[in-house]
Structure 1
Amino acid sequence: MAKKTVPSVRDALRVRPGSGLHLGPRDTPVGPATKAEAADLLAATGERLAVLQEALYAESRRSVLLVLQGMDTSGKGGTVSHVCGLVNPQGLRVTSFKAPTRQELRHDFLWRVRKQVPPPGYIGVFDRSHYEDVLIARVQELVPREVWDARYFAINEFEAELAEAGTTVVKVFLHISPEEQRERLIARLETPAKQWKYDPADLVARSRWTEYEEAYRAALERCGTAAAPWYIVPADRKWYRNWAVASVLLETLEELAPTPPEPTYDVAAELARITYADPWG
């Protein structure tokens, strides 16, 4: 009997430049069909992720950077909690990028980003990222067109540098529909424990949905490279979103195949010392 081929989640979700990308309603092309199935698969994925992350940390030669982008309420924070919570926080570095400070505005837009690149052995996570400088900066006209337009090239160069230095860049666009965003915004307002998450400015961005959609489309097409591909994850169903991002991360680590270093001591001799050593002298 022929062995069943398991479809690659990355292949199913990867953005392929030049394919005529459209950000309309999107089906779930691969993976679980129910919340219960997703929960079981996520648990199994988490076990494997934890093993590979420990090996990456022990190896301490390479790193992984997971970039999360998406419209408000698409689940960037939820993804950090449910996916990144599967691994040891000792080898994890999460950075949330807010509006730039005065000091940051005095520098190139990548200045603050470079400082947060994960060191060898770590998985870094960007909750929003340098892409805000070709998204909100573009839609809100915070800088002239020639400025944000030049940033696509700068981003591609930056990410190529990261790849060359040993950081694997994994970029995920959490694709939420305007109908689902509306429901989530209402839920935040109607739930006292979640009202702190609501920002009236979210409605300003929502009113310019089409413009943001076009900005995202341009970023995904112009900055989807072999060194740093984009993956579009349907995010209307939280359980699917979590499974998909975890699977993309798992496939990335499996491809890297990190290996802990060989011991620099005689294992047999150390076992003998532990077995026969008298702790009281």
Structure 2
Amino acid sequence: MLDRAGSIATYDRVCPSLWRAAGSGAQTGGSERCTVSKSNDRFWTENPINTLRVTPGFVLADTDTRSTPGFDGGKRQARTAAEHGADILSHQQEMLFANSKAGDNRKVLLVLQAMDTAGKGGIVRHVVGDVDPQGVSHNAFKAPTAAELRHDFLWRIRKRVPGAGMIGVFDRSHYEDVLIARVRELAPDAEIEERYELINAFERELVDDDTTLVKVMLHISADEQKDRLTERLHRSDKYWKYRPVDVDERDLWPSYQRAYQTALERTSTAAAPWFVVPADRKWYAQLAVQRLLIDALEGMVLSWPSADYDLEDELARLAAS
């Protein structure tokens, strides 16, 4: 365990300018290289900010879904690194939450997008689950309700953005409206085309309101998804996770991959870059997302807020009580 009193503060900060990136929506050029934080440099040879970030020319089909970019260890080493990282993430999140009580408006929004079975729930349980739940807001966006459909597609999203001091998690998100909506033709092409710029403008608003966005696509192969769906049909404790429609969606795999490619190209910006995380190995995906969250929080250069009362007076009052 880490010495929470001080040792965490000695770690190198990682690429804070990436998370404070200004700009009006231009794609990230990828020119800034980020160093590996000392928190996990035993196994990380390259920061995931560098290896996983979507930059101009990115091709989703070229991503090896079983690869572990920037990480030289295996599953056992990942477990050690994750345990170490959990302490750091918890410490950083607690400071973020504490600062909100002193008027700090900063917050984090983790956006998780993926094909079914890619591991979004595992990220929520095993990564976000390591921090104090009072500092987390979690929203899983399903198909919009009739009431939600009476508004623009961002209406229900705006209602769920995290408040000051919070780590917000979107399990699926506004990106469904340019992914499944495109594949299933749920809206006219012209309307979907407009949504990319509306999304960029919305995310720019969030950044201007002191939100750090960490947008993650968990990328699995069709074969890996088939294996995971098969497991659900062979284990009674996983029957509830299986939906017959999952097989129908598999028939549309190429269309979904094209929709993801377009979304990544059009919405990976300087202010809110995308990170594509190979997810056939669950342990790597969880470790990489943990690292991205840690880096985002370390980029804020957080410290404990000062007391807004006279410490000596309060000690005296307490002693006399």
Q: Which moved more, 1:50-59 or 1:25-34?
A: 25-34
- Partner residue of 2:217 out of 145, 159, 173: 173
The 3 A distance-change label for structure 1 pair 22 and 214 is same
Q: Aligned partner of 1:22: which letter?
A: L
Q: Which moved more, 1:95-104 or 1:7-16?
A: 7-16
On the 8 A contact 1:152/1:222 being kept in 2, the answer is yes
- After TM superposition, list the pairs within 5 Å mapping 1:1-281 onto structure 2: 6=36, 7-16=46-55, 18-26=56-64, 27-60=67-100, 61-274=105-318, 276-278=319-321
Indicate the RMSD between aligned Cα atoms, in angstroms: 1.2
Note the C-alpha offset of 1:202: 0.8
Note the C-alpha offset of 1:267: 1.6
Residue by residue over 1:236-273, the C-alpha shift from the partner in whole angstroms, topping out at 9 and shown as x without a partner, is: 01111110000000001000122332111122332333
Residue by residue over 1:206-243, the C-alpha shift from the partner in whole angstroms, topping out at 9 and shown as x without a partner, is: 11111000000111110000111000111001111110
Count of aligned residue pairs for this structure pair: 272
CA distance in structure 2 between the partners assigned to 1:149 and 1:41 by the alignment? 41
Note the C-alpha offset of 1:28: 1.8
3-state SS in 2 of match to 1:187: helix
CA distance in structure 1 between the partners assigned to 2:141 and 2:58 by the alignment? 30
CA distance in structure 2 between the partners assigned to 1:190 and 1:24 by the alignment? 32
Note the C-alpha offset of 1:25: 4.4
On the 8 A contact 1:25/1:177 being kept in 2, the answer is no
TM-score calculated relative to the size of structure 1: 0.94
Q: Which moved more, 1:259-268 or 1:123-132?
A: 259-268
Which segments of 5 or more consecutive residues in structure 1 lack a partner in the other structure? none
On the 8 A contact 1:32/1:240 being kept in 2, the answer is no
